Amino acid sequence: MNVTTLKVRSALSVCAFFVFICPFFLFGSIQSQVSHIGLIEENYVLLNVKLDRKIIFNSLDAYHQGEVLFFAVEPLFDILNLKYILVDRNLTVWKDDKEYIFELLAPTINPDKSTIVWGQDDYNIYVSEAFLESLFDLKVTYNNFRLIAEIDTYDYKFPKQKLEELERIRKLNALSGVSVSQEKEVTSARDVTIADQYRFFTAPNGLFNSAISWSEKNKNNNFSVQLVSDLFYHSASLTLGQSNGSELASRLEFSRYKTAPNQRILGMFDKYSFGDVSGSSNSLTSRVKSGLGIVFDRSPENFRRQNLLITINEQAPPGWEAELYHNNRFLRVITVPQDGLLVFEDVPTEYGQNIYQIKLFGPFGEADVIEKYLDLTKNALAKNDIAYNVFALDPNHKLINDKNGSQYEFTDLGMSLDYGISDNWQFGVSLYNTKNQDDEDIQLLSMKNALSFPGFLVENDISVDQDLGFAQLTTITGNLFDDKRFSFAYESASDYESPRINAKESDVHLVNANISGVLSRWSYGLNANFRDENDTNVWRLSNRLSRSFESVYLNHTLDYSIIKSTLDGHEDKINSLTGSLNLGGRISRELRVSAALNYNPVEGDFIQNSSSMLLQYAPVSESGINHYFNLRYLPLQDSDKNWQLGYNVGYDTKQYQLTLSSNYSADERWNIQAGVRFFFGYDHYNSRPIFSSEMTSQSATLDAHVYLDRQLNNQFDPLDYDLSGVEFFGNKAWKGLTTGNSGRVILPGLASGGVTTFGARWKNGSQSIDNDFVVYTHPGSYIKVDIPFHLTTELIGFVLREKHGSQTPVTNAMISLLDNRNELIQEIKVDADGYFEFLGLAPGRYTVKIQDEFLARSGYESEVIGYNIRTGSQAGFIELPAFLLARGNRILPLKNAIQDLQLDANNSEAIINDDTQGKLFHLPKKSPPESSTDSSWNRDYQHKVPNDVKNSDIKMSQGQQSDRPKLKRVLVEVDAKQIGTISNNPYKTISGQVIVDKNALFTLQLGAYSNAIQAEAIAEKYRAEVMETTDDNTALNYKVVTGRFPSKEAALNYGQQHLKGTDFFPRLYFTKATSNETEKNTWVVQFFAGKTLPKTTKFEAMRKDGLFYAYKNINGEPLVCIISKGFKSKNEALVFLNKSALDGFVLHQASFNNIERL
């Protein structure tokens, strides 16, 4: 690599610097003279510029002449946000409020790297790197091979860096809740929170599943139903289930939740429930108990009752399999009971972040995942936080189909109270009453202290019963050597009895220690346990080793135990060694396996009879018919019991699921079931039932009324319009559910149990007055909401500057939008064309102006720096006159005025009338300013629409399908008639596209636009293509490019021969992702990056999950990468990475281009 490192350490450079600064002490400003050098065109280069290792500019005009590097002054100084004035042969630069004046003089002879010189071509003034190094005390390093200039600063920071640091501090303050008055981001629409609502009765909705079962001996009707609704101003949740003639399983619970995050019931409770409920008091005294009763609860989200073990409660479809994973490690699997209440008790934790996944698998290939998060680095309650719980239960009865004829009695009574005395100290107390097996009352009083220290947590529970027997549990959990976790627990009891501990007339001691960590992607755990109870001692050592391979987990446990017991003076000792090897997960997208190999090396039969294997195969179907095969095999069982084969088939539509299942076992028994499953609701406004296979039970219903608010008062008035055809987002199952002629619609399936969001959209040129709706819901709730819309205004414009007698875009200008009280609404940065736009503005008075801070630091002035606009009540589209900037002039400064803008047919377009209903909306469009003469789009876009194409030909009514696409077609058709194509094109074309080498890496860019219509028009002329990209300000750009070339030189040669009179420059070629999988998602895992694809087979095993190769630009160098399929969230991508056996890291998909399947 030919790398020239430019250093400013020579004596001549130091002398020149002192020449700069000495006059300052005499005259108050620093004045210097700089010699000129002629620039040779063959030395022209386009550089990428880094500032302190961060790319700040792509394709900067520069010259590399001899050993000297020259930078174009205006684009570089603009991107650095330097204030400067370049007039005739004088360059004035401000550094830390000091003024440096440079007189650009006659030529010099044979300059070297340390000589401060300047140069000029037809477009720009250039200064040498020594100029920058001397003035700003920095070092410039030039990489000639990669065409990168790296600027490394010392003590001095450019205005650009200072602004970025201020922005970073503001964001940190915003995240920490600190108010920052300098930053005010407001949109014309606002988010609105809708409180929960309860009603006497609402129509129930939910899931219904029914099946008829045949076997060789009998016939059964099986069903399950999960319903929610409001009843007696409470949320009523009903689950019924019956299988194979068994007793009807039922669960009916009435609940009341707080109606908003800070609006508790009676100011005290987050929730209360009665009916078939469950409750628990303290980790020492009770487990979760269910029965007929009532529960009052207040606790923050993710509140826990102890540190080392937690309980997870969820609702799930009955009969589904539920696999529990902790930090990507398999724990256990259970089948969801018929009442749908899924409970995992005594779930282990570890210090740090705990991620729990419940993977649900239905009998017809359905799959779902429930995720829970627990932060075990601090106490459950912060300072002044409080949590309490009160319950009364009869565990022997239920509300529906109660077959117990005994008298109702609340035998389980309990309460608990926890309080955060400080962030590091939590105190709790609880009372509990229950009955033992002899039907005797037990009363228990418990007290808890939890302490938080850096790197570990300490917790102590003490409990006493009515006979003063006691029990205690002390736990410590924390970090060990940074990457390891440890826990220690000591539990003891003396003459104490509770549902969890039975030490009546005896003593119990239990010690448990655990260390866990990760070694080379293997998760391990070492556990030691000792229990002393009466005359029995138990020692146990266990080892756990697990790892995930993509979507397959492997888990091995080995337990060694010694049991000593003494009876009548005789001591017995039993040693045992048992192990279990578990394999589970998806081998492929279609095949799932679950196997357990249980063994005992001590006994004669090494492999235990309980070993089993389950294979489930669900081939992918595009027809909506899903087949599901499963084979359960127990190899060591008797031959008539060691296997069972099942085949299920389901037909899925958006409305319902039809199912057929069959089983045949080794004992020649068979069973067949046929059934239907669907979610149901009813839209009484539009007289239509709603059936869905995508919605879930335990959801809420939205009753929406949408109207055009002509008075802008957020109230429905006689002059307002009901809007039909309004779509909603917030649930994918709402697709196709729109408002009718009354402007109303019923939308079931709204997520419940907390805060959820939704929104509405109508026509282009309209917007809901409230931006997004935040709803606090409960299962079965029926929320009425009015959604007023208004017709919006779009303000667009350009910022240009004088350059050599013509006008070019200013690419870094900041534009401010203010309301009629002169308060800031929004600030944006112009794009590559100097273009800006403010969208979705409500009718009113606005001021659009160039940001004062930008003008102050850049040195620009203008006759007009802002416009006052009053948008009409019918809204519309307004194009502002272009802002024309110039560098400041000390003698004749410009006015910097703000003018009132009078709207007329030349600068605005009113709304468009819909002839079908008399409703109003408008057609937004953009066009370049007529005053510009030298920007990349101007020559080819002006005067494209001839006089015989009237505005009425472009406008369209609401009844037509789309407004923007038609406008695009009109412009393209006109352009094709009037403008010729490139002549003498050496490349073969098909359908107007240049066909070149697929592996080419360079193209010629002809322009960049913020409007797709302009870009399409230019692309049509040059048989070019349009690419959607994102610039540094994350604003969408449409870049017009033509050709693909193997090198930058080939691209330049083609442009010089065939694109004369047109601005162009070579750039790395990239396209948007073409795979449907990657277009739908945003996060990917990168496994490899290099100049060529690796010659290895290590990626072969992952091809089935979807691997892609893609390009990205690292420091100006194109690299080929291997990436995963796309994921909807970063967490999903991290889970995929953790499951793989490969090294990699997660990036946003936007980092890559030319994505194709590997």
DSSP assignment string, 211-250 = EEEEESS-EEEEEEEEEEEEETTEEEEEEEEE-TT-PPEE
**Helix (H), strand (E) at residue 632:** strand 625-633
The residues near 175 (Cβ < 8 Å, ≥ 6 apart) are none
pLDDT, tens digit, 9 for 90 and up, residues 168-218: 776 665 544 443 333 333 334 445 677 788 888 887 877 777 767 676 667
974-1068 matches 796-925 in CATH topology: no
- For residue 985, the model assigns a pLDDT of 30
Give the pLDDT of residue 113. 65
Question: C-alpha distances in angstroms, 264 versus 234, 260, 271, 869?
Answer: 15, 7, 8, 46
Instruction: Report how far residue 68's alpha carbon sits from residue 110's, in angstroms, rounded to the nearest whole number.
Output: 10
Q: Is the pLDDT of residue 1089 over 60?
A: yes
Mean pLDDT of 68-85: 86
Q: Is the pLDDT of residue 417 over 90?
A: yes
pLDDT score for 155: 80
Q: Is the pLDDT of residue 21 over 80?
A: no
| Cα 993 to Cα 996: distance, rounded to the nearest angstrom | 9
- The secondary structure of residue 588, as a DSSP letter, is S
> What is the band of 937 on the pLDDT scale with cuts at 50, 70, 90?
very low
Please check whether residue 1036 is in contact with residue 1072, taking contact to mean a CB–CB distance below 8 angstroms: no
- Tell me which of 645 and 670 has the higher pLDDT: 645
The pLDDT value recorded for residue 530 is 95
Query: Tokens for 673?
Result: 């079931």
Nearest CA to 1015 out of 945, 933, 936 is that of: 936
Name the E strands within 280-424.
289-298, 309-315, 321-326, 329-335, 341-348, 352-361, 367-376, 386-394, 412-422
- Burial class from Cβ neighbours inside 10 Å (0-12, 13-18, 19+) for residue 570 reads exposed
Determine how many CB atoms are found less than 10 A away from the CB of residue 943: 8
Confidence class of residue 964 from pLDDT cuts 50, 70 and 90?
Answer: very low
Both structure tokens of 574 = 């039993």
Q: Give CA 830 to chain center in angstroms.
A: 26
Instruction: Say if CB 641 and CB 669 are below 8 A apart.
Output: no
**Statement: residue 539 has pLDDT above 90:** yes
Give pLDDT tens digits for 455-510.
999 999 999 988 889 999 999 999 987 678 999 999 999 999 888 888 888 899 99
Confidence (pLDDT) at 1079:
40
- Smallest CA-to-CA distance from 944 within 925, 924, 963 is with 925
Average pLDDT over residues 810-821: 88
pLDDT band at 940 (very low <50, low <70, confident <90, very high): very low
**Average pLDDT across the chain, whole number:** 75
Residue 690 has pLDDT above 90, yes or no: no
The confidence score (pLDDT) of residue 561 equals 93
Q: Residue 548 pLDDT > 60, yes or no?
A: yes
On the question of pLDDT at 294 being above 90, the answer is yes
Higher pLDDT, 694 or 337: 337
- Check residue 490 and give its pLDDT: 95
Sorted by where each begins, the domain ranges of the chain are 3-166, 535-618, 694-790, 796-925, 974-1068, 1076-1157
| Distance (Å, whole) CA 627 – CA 620 | 8
- Percent of the chain past pLDDT 90, that is, above it, reads 14
At residue 787's C-alpha, the angle toward residues 785 and 789, to 5°, is 175
Q: State the Rg of the chain over Cα.
A: 37
- Measured in residues, the chain has a length of 1158
Most confident of 194-203, 301-310, 381-390: 381-390
- Whether the per-residue pLDDT at 80 is higher than 80: the answer is yes
Higher-confidence position of 906 and 747: 747
Question: In degrees to the nearest 10, what's the CA dihedral of 311, 314, 320, 322?
Answer: -40
Half-sphere exposure of 745 (CA within 13 A, CB side): 23
The predicted structure's pLDDT at residue 11: 36
Which has the higher per-residue pLDDT, 568 or 36? 36
Which residue would you say has higher pLDDT here, 589 or 1124? Answer: 1124
Q: Would the pLDDT of 24 be above 60?
A: no
Closest CA to 295 of 314, 274, 313, 311: 274
**CATH class of residue range 796-925:** mainly beta
pLDDT, one tens digit per residue, over 114-149 is: 778 888 887 788 999 989 988 888 899 998 877 889
What pLDDT does 817 receive?
A: 94
Q: What is the pLDDT of residue 54?
A: 86
Q: Helices (H), strands (E): how many in the chain? A: 12, 77
Quick one: tokens of 77? 């100084």
Residue 171: per-residue pLDDT: 63
Q: Which residues pair with 231 in a beta bridge?
A: 201, 234
Provide mean pLDDT across the span 1030-1051: 62
> Does position 936 have pLDDT exceeding 70, yes or no?
no
The CATH topology of domain 694-790 is: Immunoglobulin-like (2.60.40)
According to DSSP, the β-strands at 148-153 and 643-652 are unpaired
For the domain made up of 974-1068, the CATH class stated in words is alpha beta
